[in-house]
Amino acid sequence: QLVNHLHLPVQSGSDRILSMMKRGHTAQDYRTKVDKLRAVRPDLSLSSDFIVGFPGETEQDFAATMALIEELAFDHSFSFIYSPRPGTPAASLSDSTSMAIKKERLAHLQARLEIGARAISQRMVGTTQRVLTDRFSRKDRRQLSGRTENNRVVNFNGPASLIGCFAEVAITEALPNSLRGRLIACPELPALQHAC
């Protein structure tokens, strides 16, 4: 069994930087792993971690990371500017890249990741998703909120008794950080079918 969402950290698309980080894999190893996973689960939602500004990162290294992001289409990501941790081997590496360049790279990387995530969300509009309802919406307490099998947040109208249950929700709109939907079925609560 394989879930529809997987967090698989890569850190960088540059083999040189991955080696300096002592990650134990190359960018091609990562691509191959993702290809195998998507062969089994084509609708796999993939999230990852990215670090920019690792000591010695060049424009070519950063470009390799951007190429990996472009190629693999990540649904979510966690991205950061490298910060040295005392006592680690990387803490003693010289770093000539200015903080301004690191911030610029991070902004560029995050903007590209956001474009990809938005496109994935937009493709979900018009589909029906199985949603685990887990709470009231943070922005509108009259709505419920839950997560799809590929880890997207969906807000929709429905009875409070659905919290903790699965619901079938038609996705009607893609927003920057969530989806909106319409409740169409409550398979776990047959008594509520008339409300769906």
What CATH number should be reported for the domain holding residue 139?
2.40.50.140
> From its phi and psi, is residue 87 left (phi > 0), alpha (psi between -120 and 50) or beta?
left
pTM above 0.85, yes or no: no
Does residue 120 sit in the same domain as residue 132? Answer: no
Say if residues 156 and 181 touch (Cβ distance below 8 Å). Answer: yes
Q: Which of 124, 156, 182 is the last residue of a domain?
A: 124
Q: Which of 102, 124, 146 is the last residue of a domain?
A: 124
Tens digits of per-residue pLDDT, 32-69?
999 999 999 888 899 999 999 999 999 999 999 999 99
Does residue 166 sit in the same domain as residue 74? Answer: no
Tens digits of per-residue pLDDT, 91-150?
888 888 899 999 999 999 999 999 988 998 999 999 999 999 999 988 888 899 999 988
d(CA 133, CA 176): 20
Range of the domain at 178: 128-195
